[in-house]
Amino acid sequence: MKSSGIGGQALMEGVMMRAGDKYACAVRKPDGGIEIKTEDYRSIFGNGWWLKTPFIRGMFNFIDSMVVGMKSLSYSSEIYATPEEDYEPTRFEKWMEKKFGDKAEKIFLTIVMVISIVFAIGMFVLLPSLFASLLKTVIENRFVVNLLEGVFRMTIFILYVWLISFMKDIKRTYMYHGAEHKCINCIESGLDLTVENVAKSSRRHKRCGTSFMLIVMIISILIFMLIDTPTIWLRFLSRILLIPVVAGVSYEFLRLAGNSDNPVVNILSKPGLWLQGLTTAEPDESMIEVGIASVEAVFDWKDYLLKNSPSEERKDAL
């Protein structure tokens, strides 16, 4: 079937779904109910040509997704947090509130996002580059050095994803991640969005952010193999400056994969789908209900099925 265009992410005890210019966060409250908030989606970069131009739009869309993701995570943590009457703000929270007033939350989210980006660059860009610079002292072939740098970067990423999966909160987040994927796959397979149909849908999807990150790793290997740098500082600088290029190419491949059933594209998508075996887990029915609530807040799945799925195709064929 035609791609639904829905995307989302797992939250703390919840799911965020985005469709077009709307996104919704559905969160399971401590009392068992589901809290839903729907917001307009607006790019922080406005509505210029840079958001629509292939190979340029990737980096901007990635940053936009991070911003919406952080806002959604913050919202979910507030909903699932300790009841307000029992909650005592930290000294830092009190200082932020006193210093910045209503802007405190926005500034805090910005700080968290910047720290996350710096950590990611340090862990997945600079550390592998340092490793490659050390290898150059014993290996003369620059192609081999750059290839090993990429393999080291990918190994760190996979180990990181695997290790955090043992954390209790992350385990539940991965289950909600599975619920998000299963809801989208259910609709795009031509099935009614019910708990039963979602439960038997696949928890892997070609447009997943996990696949995007793995594609970034692979594309970076191919691009960085062509670049030789005489010093470690130039290596650091070249890797950082090429991040938008790598993100742009990776984004276009992910868009193609999500809207194509070409056998070659499907084969190239396999590594990302395999990695989703680590970042998703089978959700329970209560989690699926949250995913369904998030979808229905921003997307008319019945209209989508009516327009895209002839009656003879509406069968359980996952």
Q: Among residues 176, 201, 254, 161, which one has the least CA distance to residue 17?
A: 176
User: Per the domain annotation, does 134 fall within a domain?
Assistant: yes
Tokens linked to 119: 């950590």
16, 24 contact by CB (below 8 A) = yes
Mean pLDDT of 226-248: 88
The Cα–Cα gap between 156 and 124 comes to 7
Tokens linked to 101: 């007033």
The beta strand positions in 174-221, using DSSP E, are none
Tell me the residue type at 60: F
User: Per the domain annotation, does 318 fall within a domain?
Assistant: no
Is 5 a residue whose pLDDT tops 60? Answer: yes
DSSP 257: H
Mean pLDDT of 97-102: 75
pLDDT tens digits along 45-72: 988 898 889 999 999 998 999 889 989 9
The Cα–Cα gap between 61 and 142 comes to 33
The beta strand positions in the chain, using DSSP E, are 7-11, 14-19, 22-28, 34-40
Is 250 a residue whose pLDDT tops 70? Answer: yes
Tally of CB atoms within 10 A around 132: 24
Place of tokens 């290996």: 139
User: Per the domain annotation, does 127 fall within a domain?
Assistant: yes
Comparing 1-5, 23-27, 312-316, the range with the smallest average pLDDT is 312-316
User: Per the domain annotation, does 296 fall within a domain?
Assistant: yes
Full 3-state SS string of 13-62: CEEEEEECCEEEEEEECCCCCEEEEEEECCCCCCCCHHHCCCCCHHHHHH
User: Per the domain annotation, does 1 fall within a domain?
Assistant: no
Rg (CA), the chain: 21
Contacts of 228 (CB under 8 A, 6+ apart): 142
Q: Counting runs of H as helices and runs of E as strands, what totals does the chain give?
A: 13, 4
Predicted local distance difference test score (pLDDT) of residue 91: 76
Predicted local distance difference test score (pLDDT) of residue 270: 92
Q: Is 125 left (phi over 0), alpha (psi -120 to 50) or beta?
A: alpha
Domain total for the chain?
A: 1
The range of the structural domain enclosing residue 219 comes to: 7-313
Predicted local distance difference test score (pLDDT) of residue 311: 54
User: Per the domain annotation, does 223 fall within a domain?
Assistant: yes
User: Per the domain annotation, does 202 fall within a domain?
Assistant: yes
Alpha carbon distance, N-terminus to C-terminus of the chain: 12
The larger pLDDT score, comparing residue 103 to residue 152, is at 152
User: Per the domain annotation, does 2 fall within a domain?
Assistant: no
Share the mean pLDDT of the chain. Answer: 88
Is 262 a residue whose pLDDT tops 70? Answer: yes
Q: Among residues 174, 172, 151, which one has the least CA distance to residue 161?
A: 174
58, 45 contact by CB (below 8 A) = no
